[in-house]
Amino acid sequence: MIISVPATSANLGPGFDCLGLSLDFRNYFCITNSCLQTIDIIGEGENFNKLKADNVFVKIFSENLKKMGISDRTFAFEFRNKIPISRGLGSSSAVISAALGMAHLLKYGKIDKQEILNLALQYENHPDNITPAIFGGFNVAVVDNGKVLHLKQNISDDIRAVVVIPNRAISTKYSRQTLPKKYTNTDSVYNLSRSSLMCMAFMQEKWDMLRIASKDKFHQYRRMKQYPVLFAVQKVALENGALMSTLSGSGSSFLNICFKDDAQKILKAMQARFSNFRVLDLAFDNQGLQIEKE
């Protein structure tokens, strides 16, 4: 069986822990019946021995199969990874949702995406990456009484994402520790208003609103200060026609949204200025988690 899950970008500036979207850039998770357990990683992470010795997909998949009464099966696992690890592009969410999806597919022959989303919350307690990873598109996600409620908007192919991926990893857990525990009323209203405007901009495709709607006072500045070259990344993107330029999740990647026709210009400007960083010109994804082979 094969499941694929897309990369995601969370927060989108002001929507801390509640807004996220999905990118057309996928990891493939394959399992085959086997009398011996084997793990093969192709692509991102293939040189990290730790990912084989202590594999999160295998752990979550096996744990959930066991809960569903299946503990006597062994598999050959093959992971074809494109999503960079610890760069704020949802690699953990992809693994968590694929592992839960695969366990459910094996047991029930189908995947209930809403159920997977609620279960995923125990492994990642902010839903802004897991929701677009599972459903695709632009999403608002809310946790209420331990369940995730979300609304999704498909993203038009008039816009694209130029994603800049620095060579330095950032741990979300560490990066969250640098953030304040309390915010002022002024900063809260600043973020609330822009985050709400961002939702309307995606619904009405008012792309000229994104520049203002993507401003944030909760987390970006503090996080970017830990890695100051990111201020230059944002400046170059906006100077070259990006509609918005935000830290992707907790970083270190940057999400630059632009009109389709401007993507190559921004990509070239980024490559010229930040030659050590990877730069990708990506479409958005509106599918989320997919069963590729049953």
Q: How far is the CB of 82 from ligand HSE (least distance, A)?
A: 19
Any binding-site annotation on 13? no
Q: How far is the CB of 184 from ligand HSE (least distance, A)?
A: 19
Regarding 129 and contact with ligand HSE (CB under 6 A), the answer is yes
Regarding 17 and contact with ligand HSE (CB under 6 A), the answer is yes
Q: How far is the CB of 259 from ligand HSE (least distance, A)?
A: 26
Q: How far is the CB of 281 from ligand HSE (least distance, A)?
A: 23
> Tokens at residue 76, please?
């050959």
Binding residue for ligand HSE, selected from 14, 101, 249, 288, defined by CB under 6 A: 249
Any binding-site annotation on 14? no
Regarding 248 and contact with ligand HSE (CB under 6 A), the answer is no
Q: How far is the CB of 248 from ligand HSE (least distance, A)?
A: 9
Regarding 86 and contact with ligand HSE (CB under 6 A), the answer is no
Q: With CB under 6 A, what is the number of residues at the site for ligand HSE? A: 12
Binding residue for ligand HSE, selected from 10, 51, 163, 199, defined by CB under 6 A: 10
Task: Name residues whose C-beta falls within 8 Å of residue 138's C-beta, 6 or more positions apart in sequence.
Answer: 19, 20, 21, 132, 152, 153, 154, 155, 202, 284
* Max CA distance (Å), the chain: 60
Nearest-angstrom CA–CA distance, 220 and 55: 30
Tell me whether residue 152 or residue 219 sits nearer to ligand HSE (CB atom). Answer: 219
Regarding 226 and contact with ligand HSE (CB under 6 A), the answer is no
Regarding 11 and contact with ligand HSE (CB under 6 A), the answer is yes
Residue 48 has a CB neighbour count (10 Å cut-off) of: 11
Binding residue for ligand HSE, selected from 172, 193, 196, 287, defined by CB under 6 A: 172
Any binding-site annotation on 45? no
Q: How far is the CB of 141 from ligand HSE (least distance, A)?
A: 10
Residue 188: what residue type?
Answer: S
Any binding-site annotation on 273? no
Contact map string, positions 176 to 195, toward ligand HSE, x by CB under 6 A: x-------------------
Could you list the residues known to form a binding site for ATP, using ranges.
84-94
Contacts with ligand HSE by CB under 6 A lie at: 10-11, 16-17, 126, 128-129, 172, 176, 219, 249-250
Could you list the residues known to form a binding site, using ranges.
84-94
